[in-house]
Amino acid sequence: MAEKVNNKSVFFNPFSKNNPVIVQVLGICSVLAVTAKLEPAIVMGISVIAVLAFSNVIISLIRNTIPTNIRIIVQLVVVAGLVVIVDQLLKAYTYDVSKQLSVFIGLIITNCILMGRLEAFAMANKPWPSFLDGIGNGIGYTIILVIVGFFRELLGSGTLLGYQVVPQWCYEHGYVNNGLMILPPMALIVVACIIWVHRLCNKDLQED
Amino acid sequence: MNKQSNVYTTIYIIVLVLVVGTALAATSLALRPKQQENIDADKMRQILAAVHETPSADDVVAEFNRYIVEQTVVNTKGETIEGNAFTINMAEQVKLSPDERSLPVFVCELKSGSRKYILPAYGAGLWGPIWGYIALDSDGSTVYGAYFAHQGETPGLGAEIEKPAFTDQFNEKLHLFKDGKFLPIEVVKGGVAPANGADYVNGISGGTITSKGVGAMLDNCLTPYKSYLEKLKNSSNG
């Protein structure tokens, strides 16, 4: 089984050193899809944190009872169940956001971060560290979503969380919103820029 | 106990699925009324958008009840029939032949006191369903405003039908009755007026199939109202 885990590093490592998006490169697809505006990015982040933390705990609790040959199926059933519950909650309490996120909430099931963390961490660790790992990775994912969403909404629509940020006189002096920022490819470029800056600050992550 | 045995595996997965299934069913039942409220409020918002009223999310229901003074259902002969206009599912209605359809009408009274008649429409775009609401003046002919929405048209192309650039064209005094003839609004390419003299709006460049879908939807969904609108027109003249 795994070596003794340090709760603090389990929680904080995914923020930067072992970030799920920019270091492990998991969950890129949803980063492209939901970051055109800041609000859905935040809601998506919170949803992933919730699903990831709870599925990690549940899998960790039952890890010793799961028959090895159907463990992936068991993980999928747990994740799918939690995702549907989150989807139902969003439909009931934040209808507009759930309309915007539409299929992407369902697609949390296929988000590689979840299966990756369940298989790599929760299957081998106690519930409490697994919970921290889930929250940590969820926050690491959310940080990137929010950064990308911030730049895409600011440069693409001139707004933040729906409020006009770029003042009117900028438009009067010829400033134009960059329509390209709204399109998915720019999310990839923004993520690449984040990875670039991140590697510059963390020399030990640089590959030859 | 052998955790790798087939019996254990089978029982394990059955129990797991039962537990998860129960949890899902319970969640769904508990949240159903709240979700239905949201869906209804969203529909009310769309109906009010056709008469250029955009209440905030919290007041939609109250504003809807204030503006919409009457909801009726008519048939193709223009006679009022039994039914609840709000709960009629347009997706099912458009599949029926026009004579069998129940046609909802939402009568709206604006702050100025003038009456508008809001008619729902439902059709197909390029990727999925499109729908909308068309508001008419009390003469049953002049278009007062329109609201369109879609499920998954291409952003920047077909999806533009919900933007003001497209819907504002419906604010410019288009008429359904031209010289006594009933001609639904057409959606045309490049500003070429239709040969039959119908009033028209410009389609969206790059969104041809969605634009055509809007045209077909207007034709399919407005034509059954012809008798009802004629009655409306005659009563407003007389």
- Please state the ipTM of this predicted complex: 0.71
In chain B, at which residue ranges do the beta strands (DSSP E only) sit? 68-74, 80-81, 103-109, 115-124, 129-137, 143-150, 177-178, 181-182, 186-188, 200-202
Distance CA A89, CA A78 (A): 17
Q: Confirm or reject contact between B128 and chain A (CB < 8 A).
A: no
Is A78 within 8 Å of B20 when comparing Cβ atoms? yes
Tokens 């209605």 found at: B93
CA distance B28 to chain A (A): 7
Place of tokens 């005659």: B234
CA atoms within 13 A on the CB side of B149: 12
Q: Do B12 and A91 touch (CB under 8 A)?
A: no
pLDDT in tens, chain A (208 residues): 445 568 888 888 888 888 888 887 887 877 887 888 888 888 888 888 988 999 999 999 998 888 888 888 898 899 999 899 988 988 888 888 787 776 778 878 877 888 888 888 888 889 999 999 999 999 999 999 999 989 988 888 888 887 888 888 888 888 888 878 888 888 889 999 998 998 888 888 777 6
CA distance A48 to chain B (A): 18
Count A/B contacts: CB-CB distance under 8 Å.
Answer: 56
A93 touches chain B (CB under 8 A): yes
In the numeric block, the tokens 């929760």 are attached to A122
B4 to chain A, any CB pair closer than 8 A? The answer is yes
Q: Helices B60-67 and B6-49: crossing angle, nearest 10°?
A: 40
Amino acid residing at A6: N
The DSSP-derived string for A51-103 is HHHHHHHHHHHTTTTS-GGGHHHHHHHHHHHHHHHHHHHHHHH-HHHHHHHTH
Closest chain B residue to A89 measured between Cα atoms?
A: B31
**Residue A4 DSSP symbol:** P
Separation between Cα atoms, residue A120 and residue A140, nearest integer Å: 17
- All structural domains of chain A with their residue ranges: 19-205
